[in-house]
Amino acid sequence: MAVDSSERDPMGDGQGDVGVRVFHTGSASIDRALAFRERTLHPLPHTGWFRSDSKRLWVPVSAYLVDHPEGLVLVDTGWNAAMREDQRDHLGFLPSTMFRGRLPDGEAVHEQLAALDVEPADLDYVVLTHLDSDHVSGVDHVADAERILVSEPEWDARDGFRYVQSMWDGVDVEPFPLESVPFGPSNRGLDLFGDGRVYLVFTPGHSPGQVSVLVDTGAGWVLLASDVGYAARSWEEGILPGLTDSDEDARASLQWVADFARRDDCVAALANHDPDVDPGPVGGDAVES
């Protein structure tokens, strides 16, 4: 049964303000060059092919729940429970040679929502920041959400080699056009509720249509930067991800995140795979001190 919006309090603060909660939906083992670009003679270091295990690291795979007065928004979906069974079948052969995942019991996105008494049908929006596997793998767990959104530029690129289209087969994914917004490297995106409190901000480069999510909590802005950078050090030190669709766009997006993160009214800027970001409500225990 769906939870009545007047009774739910998934942020656990009892305030009714706009809240943001971080989920870790398992973790991924990747080559460090995928997270932090390296200068090397290796032509494709981000793949991890012919690279030693000592160059690999485990990073969290995050999703986020935004509780707005007009509805609940899930940002990304993390790993699917199928990762516990047969990763090669779920990911496809080639991606499974590049990375692997862990998904402990209870950490799939629908399991964590259930622990908050939230059902997929209670979600007004699911926002897919981009279509890489670790962001869309669990989308069928929340297919009953009211609307599942991805940017039009990302959707137009869905036939690309890096994407596993079977992950959203049978799911009603709705591409949204980019509009004028006050934020981002090109001031394009979407004001999700039309009230200036949740923006989908076009931050391409890592992928053609990647968006970040900017939330006005009332206490300040929380920036969910997706994979613009893999950790805060990415924008603090100007380190691009190892895989980009456009280096020029990636640098512009990274610089915008760096500039926004320094604003006095930005209370948190979070990268999806930053191991220094803990699960829980942002402003509570979400970010290590």
Which string of DSSP letters, residue by residue, matches 175-234? EE--EE-S-SSSSEEEESSSSSSEEEEE--SSSTT-EEEEEE-SSSEEEE-TTSSSSHHH
CA–CA distance, 94 with 21 (Å, rounded to integer): 33
pLDDT value, residue 240: 98
pLDDT value, residue 160: 87
106 falls within a domain: yes
14 falls within a domain: no
29 falls within a domain: yes
51 falls within a domain: yes
The backbone torsions φ and ψ at residue 95, rounded to the nearest 5 degrees and listed phi first, read: -60, -35
pLDDT value, residue 103: 98
pLDDT tens, residue by residue, 249-281: 999 999 999 999 999 999 999 999 999 999 999
Q: What percent of the chain has pLDDT over 90?
A: 90
118 falls within a domain: yes
Q: Domain tally for the chain?
A: 1
Q: Which of 150, 74, 151 is nearest to 110 (CA)?
A: 74
CA distances in angstroms from 145 to 149, 154, 182, 243, listed in the order given = 10, 20, 28, 30
CATH number at residue 37: 3.60.15.10
- The mean pLDDT of 165-170, rounded to a whole number, is 96
Q: What range does the domain containing 26 cover?
A: 19-281
Cβ neighbours of 56 (radius 10 Å): 17
1 falls within a domain: no
76 falls within a domain: yes
Q: What percent of the chain has pLDDT over 70?
A: 92
Is residue 39 scored above 50 in pLDDT?
yes
3 falls within a domain: no
Q: Do the Cβ atoms of 201 and 183 come closer than 8 Å? A: yes
